[in-house]
Amino acid sequence: MTRWKLDDQRFFDPDPAVRQIACDLYAGVHDLPIISPHGHVDPQLLAENTPFPDPAELILIPDHYIYRMLYSRGISLESLGIPTRDGTPVERDRRRIWQIFCENLFLFQGTPTSAWLDYEFVEVFGLSRKPTGDNAQALYDELQERLARPEFLPRALYERFRIEVLCTTHGAADSLDAHHRLRQSGWNGRVIPCLRPDAAFQLDSPAWRAEIDALSAAADVDITSYGSLIVALENRRDYFRSFGATSTDQGVVSPHAHRLSPAESETIFRRALKGKADHRDAERFIAHMLMEMARMSIEDGLVMQIHPGSLRNHNRSIFARFGPDKGCDIPIRTEYTRNLRELLNTYGNDPRLTLIVFTLDESAYSRELAPLAGHYPALKLGPPWWFHDSIEGMTRFRQSVCETAGFYNTVGFNDDTRAFPSIPARHDLARRMDADFLAGKVARHIIDLDDARQIIRALTVDLVKTAYKL
């Protein structure tokens, strides 16, 4: 049987001249460290540093890229062992879950998930055969045996992946206990938190009041007014910074930013405390808080990220049973030129602010975001995000933004993943696609090879370190 091996020149242009240049550029960044400035890996993995329990728990269950596709083909989340909010039964037999997964791997053909999984199976775990329904149980045993070895412990993998810094995302009320334990452990891996205060701004959410109570306790501030909310948020920003945080992150439906008057913000917030805020109140308050978060970033130096354009939890029955982040967030159309005008006119010319914008609406790249980033010093463009962090999506991104904004108003790549072993796979794919894109520019004599070598290094490590102050 032929041993399963990934092609060294995979994803590159089939034109021999372009492919050779791409190989040259990729070779120059292949071994550079991974800078992961935004993601959702649970830091408890590294704090505890115990063996991963099984292949299904490691590869499938944390990764909504995988189970959303399976769900779309009629495979229930219960059968995949995805935990429910209310604790109602789901499949507990990890071998059965793994069997379903392997039998349906063909569904991912041509998707970025397939590229990532192939890398994980071959490069991370050393499998010599492609998973299928027939060999699923044998490969489960093979992987289980590997996961028991010391070299597959989380910290050992962190070091093997050549991760220089890993950022994990947390709500404003999070105790950051795992980060505290990592510091106390004496391990020298750099894992830092990112503050995501969204839940404190969503006045019309049923969970909002509980979030405010949790934030009050965490910040040791009795939040009874808008002013005390601001004090609590500023306290939490300082707390996150004490653990090495360099950034915040806001997920919003619309990027609309607008400052309310002190009286308006206080009135809306007090109405929310009484349980009387409506959806319009919530929209106005979020727009105001984008202005406030920009102000705070100028004062304390935290980089501000926003990612608009996702209608969260579109599938209500899945949200009700399984909760958020289950592959049900769907892109919507977004507008930036008018919506960000007030924020950028107020703060966008200030060199103390770094505002990184991600989008799910590709049509906005060349029409609005690239021209904005090509003018305002504060604005930088985040990499292709969910649904677009793919071979074709990365190429479209470079084609859409780099002629107008240049390469140096982008911020490299982040993996935005919950699936720890997929981190090197995602970064490798990004490096290959940047090499391929730049090789095309060199072959057409738009840039020369020396410039391309400088640019790809910048896209791999330099820009992300600069933008995120790492």
pLDDT digits (tens, 9 = 90+) for 74-119: 999 999 999 999 888 999 999 999 999 999 999 999 999 999 999 9
The answer to whether 172 and 218 have CB atoms below 8 angstroms apart is: yes
CA atoms within 13 A of residue 240's CA, in its CB half-sphere: 30
Q: Is 129 helix (H, G, I), strand (E, B) or coil?
A: coil
Ranges 32-36, 181-185, 236-240, 384-388: which has the least confidence: 384-388
Which pLDDT band, with edges at 50, 70 and 90, does 120 fall under? very high
Q: Side chain identity at 368, as an amino acid letter? A: E
Q: Where are the domains of the chain?
A: 16-49+153-467, 51-152
Q: How many residues does the chain have?
A: 470
d(CA 466, CA 83): 38
* Average pLDDT, integer, range 191-200: 97
If you average pLDDT over residues 16-34, what whole number do you get?
A: 98
| pLDDT in the model for residue 71 | 96
Identify the pLDDT of residue 259. Answer: 98
Residue 247: is its pLDDT beyond 70?
Answer: yes
Q: How confident is the model at residue 52 (pLDDT cuts 50, 70, 90)?
A: very high
Nearest CA-CA partner of 237 in 256, 250, 224: 250
- At 18 the pLDDT is 98
User: What pTM was computed for the model?
Assistant: 0.96
Query: Residue 87 burial by CB count (10 A; 0-12/13-18/19+): exposed, middle or buried?
Result: exposed
DSSP 101: H
Pairing verdict, β 310-311 and 330-331: antiparallel
Specify whether domain 16-49+153-467 bears CATH 3.30.70.3270.
no
Which candidate, 266, 110, 236, 228, places its Cα nearest to that of 173? 236
In the sheet with 303-308, reading across from the earlier edge strand, the strands are 34-36, 163-171, 191-196, 247-252, 303-308, 355-357, 379-381
CB of 385 closer than 8 Å to CB of 358 = yes
Q: Of the candidates 145, 175, 183, which has an alpha carbon nearest to the alpha carbon of residue 46?
A: 183
| Mean pLDDT on 36-54 | 96
Per-residue model confidence (pLDDT) at position 87: 86
Secondary structure (3-state) at 381: strand
Query: What is the reported pLDDT for 124?
Result: 97
Class of domain 51-152: mainly alpha
- Determine the average pLDDT of the residues in 390-402: 96
Percent of the chain with pLDDT over 70: 100
Per-residue pLDDT of 281-294, as tens digits, reads 999 999 999 999 99
Between helices 262-273 and 208-219, what is the axis angle to 10°?
110
* pLDDT reading at 452 higher than 80: yes
Angstrom distance (rounded) from CA 204 to CA 219: 22
| pLDDT given for residue 2 in this prediction | 79
Paired residues of 194 in beta bridges: 169
Question: What six digits make up the tokens of 165?
Answer: 């810094």
For the chain, how are helix, strand and coil distributed in percent, rounded to 5?
Answer: 50, 10, 40
The pLDDT tens digits for 139-166 are: 999 999 999 999 999 999 999 999 999 9
Looking at residue 1, what is its pLDDT? 64
Q: What would the two tokens of residue 35 be?
A: 């800078």
Instruction: Please answer whether residues 446 and 18 qualify as being in contact, where contact means their C-beta atoms are separated by less than 8 angstroms.
Output: no
Question: What are the C-alpha distances in Å from 106 to residues 69, 125, 126, 206, 339?
Answer: 11, 20, 20, 40, 42
- Cβ 80 vs Cβ 70: under 8 Å: yes
* Chain center to CA of 457: 21
Q: How far apart are CA 91 and CA 394, in angstroms?
A: 36
Query: For 191, what's the count of Cα atoms within 13 Å in the CB-facing half-sphere?
Result: 30
Q: Return the beta strands (E) in 59-183 as ranges.
A: 163-171
**Residue 86 pLDDT:** 84
